[in-house]
Amino acid sequence: MPSSHLRLPLSRRGFLMASAGAGAALGLAPLSAHAHEQRRPFGRYGSPARRLTPKTVYVDPHGHGDFTTVQAAVDAATTAGFTLVIAPGVYRETVSAGVVAPATGQRTEAATEMTWIGASEDPRDVVIVYDNAAGTPKPDGSGTYGTSGSATTLIRTDGFTARWITFANDWLRADHPGVSGTQAVAIKVQGDRSAFHHCRFLGHQDTLYADSFDLGLFARQYYAHCYVEGDVDFVFGRATAVYEHCHFRTLNRTDLTGAPYGFVFAPSTAGANPRGYLVTRSRVSSEAPDAFYKLARPWVPSSDTTAHPMLTVRDTWLGTGIDAVAPYANMRETYPWQSMRFAEYANSGPGAVISVPENRPQLTPETAAGHTRRAYLGDWRPYERT
């Protein structure tokens, strides 16, 4: 089960309405008590006067650190191995980590092996948020952002780790009734060996984009004790990703009158990749009516029509929000979900009841042995780190 921080999550809509004061775009107030200790905004992680290592930099919106924005700190990390210690606050900005050389389009070594730490060790206290959507016009008039461009945070570097941070996109359909591109990504992750511990991902459509840098790279990602919420395809992409002890929550919708409201997972695993998404020892809850959500649908993007989406959900509790009779759907009739690599094993809860067996492909105990975090992540073992 998720950590104690995340067992009773405040939904994104409730989070937005929680406060009308400073930082009201995400309703951050009130912060937890230890977040108000301005004398020690970085907790046990030192300070600019007591720097833990030469490559530790401090971010504080009130000016007590080296930088007041996350992006400025990232820009200062010109070599590998930097750690950003981030003080409590709402950081309303877009952030991009990972340098791409303009001439070749390839990544450079800058910013690899980077770690971001929420100093209070409570993800509710450190929030990185912005409000671009796919259909949001760019300021320079060159069109709209598109799905990838809408991301509040973009991680394009290898060896990235984040702990105790909220990544959010607070763009709302209700505020923009004329916009058709309603995808609004909280974070897009493309790097190999990207790990997130005790983090939150808040959005509506396309919240968590777990992807890779290109088709030829099978990026491994690990999410542990995290909370993710949304409505349409809100965990999606082609990464090899393990979600362990995570809580996925489907949101209510007032713009639709009937089911389905949306889909939790939409993997787009490359056909050559033997490992897609693995959800293990997690839970899926909902604030929507019973059976108004599908567990998943396969995404075969136009840029890769050879994709063979893969999702395994095992040892996971599925709540009443999931349509137990027909938990999967097609995104396009040309690519039926039955031809994809979808499977379940040893799930529980009302949304896991097997009433129509052909709609719920199950692993055998023998095949389930090949669907573990170690099998998916290989020699990279982020779950063994303290």
Cβ atoms within 10 Å of 42's Cβ, excluding its own: 24
DSSP-derived secondary structure for 347-361: -BSGGG--SSGGGS-
**HSE of 371, CA atoms in CB hemisphere, 13 A:** 27
Spatial contact of 127 and 169, defined as CB atoms under 8 Å apart: no
**Kind of pairing between the strands at 166-169 and 200-202:** parallel
214 catalytically annotated: no
Nearest to 225, CA basis, from 245, 250, 241, 255: 245
Spatial contact of 296 and 265, defined as CB atoms under 8 Å apart: yes
Query: Which among 60, 231, 233, 323 is annotated as catalytic?
Result: 233
The verdict on whether omega for the bond into residue 301 sits within 30 degrees of 0, i.e. cis, is no
- Cα distance between residue 154 and residue 138, in whole Å: 17
Q: What is the 3-state secondary structure (H, E, C) of 244-267?
A: ECCEEEECCCCCCCCCCCEEEEEE
> 3-state DSSP call for residue 340?
coil
The DSSP output letter for 65 is S
Spatial contact of 273 and 221, defined as CB atoms under 8 Å apart: no
Spatial contact of 75 and 97, defined as CB atoms under 8 Å apart: no
Query: Which among 125, 206, 211, 231 is annotated as catalytic?
Result: 206
- Cα distance between residue 295 and residue 277, in whole Å: 13
> 3-state DSSP call for residue 155?
strand
The H-assigned helical ranges of 29-180 are 70-76, 146-149
Q: What are phi and psi of 208, to 5 degrees?
A: -115, 110
233 catalytically annotated: yes
Cβ atoms within 10 Å of 375's Cβ, excluding its own: 13
Residues tagged active-site = 206, 233
